[in-house]
Structure 1
Amino acid sequence: MAKIAVFGANGTVGTRIVDEALDRGHHVTAVVRDPSKYARSAPDLTVVTGDVLDPSSVASVAEGQDVVVSAVGGGDGKGHLAVIGPSAEALVEGLRMAGDAAPRLIAVGGAGSLRTPLGGLVWDAEGVPEDLLRTMHAHGDALDFYRTVDDVKWTNFSPSTSFAPGERTGTYRTALDDLVVDENGNSDISTEDYAVALIDEIENPRHIGERFTAGY
């Protein structure tokens, strides 16, 4: 079983990733700002203090891990703009400190830069709220940065356009840079099934050094 460190473990996405990993028997290190406020407990769960914006903190957390997951920077609040890009740079810098022993990185990305069936990008659609649009572009910039990195094993995982807590079905479809849509043109996935797909990628790596997405 893998040793997985999760930054943002107490967020909407992070909690699902932690739960899915623990349910499959992996050892999880939940990385949060205040461990006293983290309510989850399990035999294979360790809770530590960490700062995803501090490369030294990233390096410390990453020691002995197989995979580092970044589940920070979601939502559409302005505060996330101060995290998305800087965290990508700090994560890579921190993992570089470990050299050849560095664990793999999987970062939760955004859907904005995915191609739609009509050929445009999601963030080009009319009516996207301004705050959400800024968050989408921040994720896009972070992805552009990851694509310049060739000395850290990274994966960027974009969700569908509709992405919220719901049912865990255990089924999904994947693509690379194209939005996954159903026969009615809808693009959605629950945070629970997103976590399933992410842990599947950890257990059976198929997207090292690239972005992928998942949906129904």
Structure 2
Amino acid sequence: MKIVVFGTGFVGSALVREITSRGHEVTAVARHSPTAAGNVLDPAFVAEVSSGADVIVSALPASDENVTALLGAAVASGARLGVVGGSSVLPMVEGGPRLADTPGFPAWLLPRTEAHARVLEILGSAPTGVDWFSLVPAANFGPHQPGTRTGAYRTSTTALVTDDQGRSVLGVEDYAIAFADEIDKPATHRTWLAVGY
């Protein structure tokens, strides 16, 4: 498959490594990429780099502009769109409040939460012919918790994935495995899927 990954930071670079290792043709797009340098807000560039793509991946910061640009590219190219999600918009337990609405959630993260919430709203209003998925990592995920590759993960369609002690944790390489698995064997359509240990 031809896969275009927008964003080569902490998560995007892990996705590029994992997807490439599976034999797919991967184009990594970033502002200063040696292979495909450009801006997601440049419609001509996005159309050119995503032409003929089977899957477009957004590993960019959550924003209305970024997701709208890549959604438009998916519509134009007929590609599936995969988006790196944000844990704070999901509940820790089924039926519970969003992680962002629980006591002690850092106020400085609320703008990021609302950005991820808007991304899901925009994706939800996409034309019915567009196949998209948002893979949401665990609450404890990021450069501060890179983890060790295990090849194992669990998923949930109702809440964040937690262990027996209520911890929600995931390493970036196992997140990349889960994302690549969803690309290889599509099972999540026009909705989010949470992943964790």
TM-score, reference length from structure 2? 0.91
Shift of 1:58: 2.2
Shift of 1:128: 2.1
Contact 2:56–2:74 (Cα < 8 Å) also in 1: no
State yes or no: 1:114 paired with 2:113.
Answer: no
Q: Distance in 2 between matches of 1:119 and 1:56?
A: 43
Runs of at least 5 residues in structure 1 that lack an aligned partner in the other structure:
37-46, 74-82
Query: What residue is the counterpart of 1:43 in the other structure?
Result: none
Contact 1:31–1:48 (Cα < 8 Å) also in 2: yes
Name which of structure 1's ranges 151-160 and 111-120 shifts more when overlaid on structure 2.
111-120
> Secondary structure, in 3 states, of the residue corresponding to 1:214?
strand
Name which of structure 1's ranges 128-137 and 62-71 shifts more when overlaid on structure 2.
128-137
Q: Report the AA paired with residue 67 of structure 1.
A: V
Q: Distance in 1 between matches of 2:108 and 2:64?
A: 16
Contact 2:99–2:105 (Cα < 8 Å) also in 1: no
Over residues 138-164 of structure 1, what are the superposed CA-to-partner deviations in whole Å (9 max), with x where a residue is unaligned? 101110110111232111111110113
Query: What residue is the counterpart of 2:171 in the other structure?
Result: 190
State yes or no: 1:140 paired with 2:117.
Answer: yes
Over the residues paired in the alignment, what is the CA RMSD in angstroms?
1.5
Shift of 1:111: 0.7
Contact 1:55–1:91 (Cα < 8 Å) also in 2: no
Query: What residue is the counterpart of 1:70 in the other structure?
Result: 58
Runs of at least 5 residues in structure 2 that lack an aligned partner in the other structure:
none
Query: What residue is the counterpart of 2:137 in the other structure?
Result: 159
TM-score, reference length from structure 1? 0.84
Shift of 1:85: 1.8
Q: Distance in 2 between matches of 1:129 and 1:176?
A: 25
Aligned residue pairs, count: 192
Query: What residue is the counterpart of 1:78 in the other structure?
Result: none
Over residues 63-108 of structure 1, what are the superposed CA-to-partner deviations in whole Å (9 max), with x where a residue is unaligned? 12111110011xxxxxxxxx5221111111222233xxx2111011
- Indicate which of 182, 204, 213 corresponds to 2:185: 204
Share of identical aligned residues, percent? 40
Over residues 189-212 of structure 1, what are the superposed CA-to-partner deviations in whole Å (9 max), with x where a residue is unaligned? 111110000000000000121111
> Secondary structure, in 3 states, of the residue corresponding to 2:88?
coil
Q: Distance in 2 between matches of 1:215 and 1:133?
A: 22
Over residues 160-200 of structure 1, what are the superposed CA-to-partner deviations in whole Å (9 max), with x where a residue is unaligned? 10113121111000112411100000001111110000000
